[in-house]
């Protein structure tokens, strides 16, 4: 029997997600072979993996061949790639051109599911992006010392319904609410930009604090990609924009640097609640 360590591929976007995944995989004795995107992936990832190869956004064939040559049969997608990249900066290879031509639309889920199918054709299965990181998933309940006020709880309820509707169309997964009114909804700009826009709109109408952020998973979330994530950078945005409460989807949202994240939230007096939704996960995908 071979004592060769288990290998896993990592398709790395931006942010801390790929680094946290690589650190945890390394702790469990798994060898990580990483695909980076030029201008997107943090070069610091190189110190945490056995190999890191960079490719232009839109390349599919060479990255797949790299993983196959390394004997990889399982991989994970982790990190952000801005949706706006669809409008420029992409250098598709011939395989990607053919893939794009087959798509019924250019929604994020449609593209990523098609990419996952291309990897599968070559014997590389994409695993849930929470692999090795399930201990960072938000458990149901109030996660901070302070519970939401009655007004914040009402805004969370309204925001939850709006965010779920939004996510169902694969538009965005976050909504900002204040005093029973939807202030901003997320689209291609991302959560942080949505929060900042909401703060500007609220300030323009005389409201300087009291925003509530609601961030959810998509209905029938495919856990191989686009799992909701919050972290220390999120808290900086909440503090800057005077957000007082945050609602997350329990068991489907990753809390990066979890202990420090919650300790800082307590210091900021931000109330964070993880809400459990009774809806099925995507077929063949689980956060556990």
Helix, strand, coil share of the chain (percent; to 5): 40, 20, 40
Which of 75, 110, 126 is at the close of a domain?
126
Residue pLDDT, tens place only, 176-201? 999 999 999 998 888 999 999 999 99
Residue 101 has pLDDT above 80, yes or no: yes
Let me know whether 161 and 101 are in one domain: no
Beta-bridge partners for 61: none
CA pair distance 273, 260, nearest whole angstrom: 16
What mean pLDDT do residues 203-210 have?
Answer: 78
What mean pLDDT do residues 20-24 have?
Answer: 96
**pTM for the full predicted model:** 0.85
Which of 103, 126, 149 is at the close of a domain?
126
Better pLDDT: 285 or 244: 244
Residue pLDDT, tens place only, 254-275? 999 999 999 999 999 999 999 9
Residue 280 has pLDDT above 80, yes or no: no
SS3 state at 83: helix
Let me know whether 14 and 108 are in one domain: yes
The pLDDT of residue 38 is 84
Alpha helices, DSSP H only, in the chain? 17-27, 61-69, 94-102, 108-121, 150-168, 191-204, 232-240, 258-268
Residue 5 has pLDDT above 70, yes or no: no
User: What would the two tokens of residue 162 be?
Assistant: 């709006």
Average pLDDT, the chain: 89
* Strand stretches in 13-94, DSSP E: 31-37, 51-55, 74-78
- Closest by CA to 148, choosing from 207, 198, 211, is 211
Q: What are phi and psi of 243, to 5 degrees?
A: -85, 130
Would you place residue 277 in the very low, low, confident or very high pLDDT band (cuts 50, 70, 90)? Answer: confident
User: What would the two tokens of residue 31 be?
Assistant: 């060898």
What mean pLDDT do residues 66-91 have?
Answer: 79
Residue 1 has pLDDT above 70, yes or no: no
Let me know whether 139 and 122 are in one domain: no
Q: Is residue 36 part of a domain?
A: yes
CATH of the domain at 244: 3.40.140.80
Let me know whether 165 and 87 are in one domain: no
Let me know whether 184 and 267 are in one domain: yes
Per cent of the chain over pLDDT 90 is 69
Residue pLDDT, tens place only, 119-129? 999 999 999 99
User: What would the two tokens of residue 275 be?
Assistant: 């809400």
What mean pLDDT do residues 53-82 have?
Answer: 92
The pLDDT of residue 286 is 44
SS3 state at 45: helix
Let me know whether 142 and 218 are in one domain: yes
Q: Is residue 2 part of a domain?
A: no
Beta-bridge partners for 54: 36
Would you place residue 242 in the very low, low, confident or very high pLDDT band (cuts 50, 70, 90)? Answer: very high
CB of 148 within 8 A of CB of 156?
yes
Q: Is residue 1 part of a domain?
A: no
Q: Domain residues for 47?
A: 7-126
């Amino acid at each position: 029997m071979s004592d060769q360590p288990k290998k896993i591929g990592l398709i790395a976007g931006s942010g801390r997600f790929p680094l946290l995944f690589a650190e945890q995989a390394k702790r469990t004795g798994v060898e990580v072979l990483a695909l980076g995107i030029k201008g997107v992936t943090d070069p610091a990832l190189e110190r945490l993996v056995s190999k890191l190869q960079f490719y232009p956004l839109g390349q599919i064939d060479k990255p797949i061949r790299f993983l196959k040559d390394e004997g990889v049969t399982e991989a994970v997608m982790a990190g952000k790639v801005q949706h706006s990249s669809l409008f420029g900066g992409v250098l598709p290879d011939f395989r990607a051109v053919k893939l794009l031509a087959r798509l019924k639309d250019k929604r994020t889920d449609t593209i990523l599911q098609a990419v996952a199918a291309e990897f599968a054709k070559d014997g590389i299965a994409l695993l849930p992006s929470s692999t090795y990181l399930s201990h960072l998933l938000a458990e149901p309940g109030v996660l901070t010392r302070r519970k939401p006020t009655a007004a914040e709880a009402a805004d969370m309820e309204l925001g939850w319904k709006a965010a779920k509707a939004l996510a169902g169309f694969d538009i965005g997964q976050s909504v900002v609410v204040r005093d029973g009114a939807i202030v901003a909804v997320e689209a291609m700009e991302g959560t942080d930009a949505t929060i900042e826009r909401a703060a500007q709109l609220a300030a323009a109408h005389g409201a300087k604090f009291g925003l509530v952020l609601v961030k959810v998973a998509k209905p029938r979330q495919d856990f191989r990609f686009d799992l909701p994530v919050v972290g220390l950078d999120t808290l900086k945005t909440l503090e800057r924009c005077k957000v007082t409460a945050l609602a997350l989807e329990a068991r489907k949202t990753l809390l990066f640097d979890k202990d420090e994240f919650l300790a800082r939230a307590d210091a900021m007096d931000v109330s964070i609640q993880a809400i459990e939704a009774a809806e099925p996960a995507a077929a063949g995908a689980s956060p556990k």
